[in-house]
Amino acid sequence: MIFTINAIKIIFLLGFLIFIHECGHFFVAKAFKIKVREFSLGFGPKLISKQGSETKYSLRWIPLGGYVDMVGEAERSDEEGSFSKASVLKRIAILLGGAVINIIFGLFCYFVLILIKTSIIEAFIATGGFVGSIVESLKLIFTGNVAVEQMVGPVGISGIVVQSSGLFNFVYLLSIISVSLGVTNLLPIPALDGGRIFLLIIEGLRKKPFKENTEIAINSIGFTFLILLSIYVTYNDVVRIF
């Protein structure tokens, strides 16, 4: 019974945060009339799917991820409504959508938690301090003062969630992890949204896009780096737990 409850907590927390992240991409893309082939929560084989007028909505077996499949995103396309044909600013806005909604949601949850415990002034002050701590963390990352051993992946997050008790602590974790997910996703590492935004900024400055093969190669290198980093972080998480 305890195992089942913990599993539900982990799947809900990670699944929900990924869901709203992908919703951020999806709704901004739709606002700019970009064609979305599929909105998927999870990876792996399909559990259920529903075809809409333009977009297929899918739920897959592995709940630790998700994606929005836009026309012209993976490969450039001249089709009307293609991501690759949209302006640089529109593409940046679409990529920002996921991280921004995670950060806003996390700050909102944190604000409400503090508001529930004494006054609105304290809630604003505490939330401001929370934002300040995030900025300081980013400074440590960019100055190289954060060791890889200090990083936490899905396994480490799961361990923290399992140890939480009560609704207040769970929502507190939800807020912190949501903001962390949003901020991490904006780091200028190829394959992350932040890395792709960085390439788009360069594209806007040079007034012409990168060659498609060059962009694919850059993102592939970034993806490989992230996979290797994830494996190492997961190993450290497992060592810490056991």
Distance (Å, rounded) from C-alpha 67 to C-alpha 238? 27
pLDDT of residue 65: 75
Read off the pTM: 0.83
138-147 own/partner pairs: CB under 8 Å, 24+ apart: 138/183, 141/187
Q: How many domains does the chain have?
A: 1
pLDDT of residue 9: 76
Return the structure tokens found at 85. 């044909």
Provide the 10 A C-beta neighbour count for residue 151.
16
The mean pLDDT of 157-184, rounded to a whole number, is 80
Distance (Å, rounded) from C-alpha 211 to C-alpha 199? 12
Provide the 10 A C-beta neighbour count for residue 50.
9
Q: Report pLDDT digits (tens) over 191-207.
A: 789 999 999 999 999 88
Return the structure tokens found at 211. 């060659």
What confidence tier does 25 reach under pLDDT thresholds 50, 70, 90? Answer: very high
What does pLDDT average to over the chain? Answer: 83
State the residue range of the domain holding 108.
Answer: 2-241
Q: Report pLDDT digits (tens) over 120-143.
A: 888 888 888 888 877 777 776 666
Q: Per-residue b/e over 166-197, b at no fewer than 16 CB within 10 Å? A: eeeeebbbbbbbbbbbbbbbbeebbbbbbbbb
Return the structure tokens found at 5. 């409850």
Q: How many residues are listed for the chain in this entry?
A: 242
Contact predicate 193/186, CB 8 Å: yes
Q: Report pLDDT digits (tens) over 74-110.
A: 888 888 899 999 999 999 999 999 999 999 999 998 8
First to last CA, the chain: 21
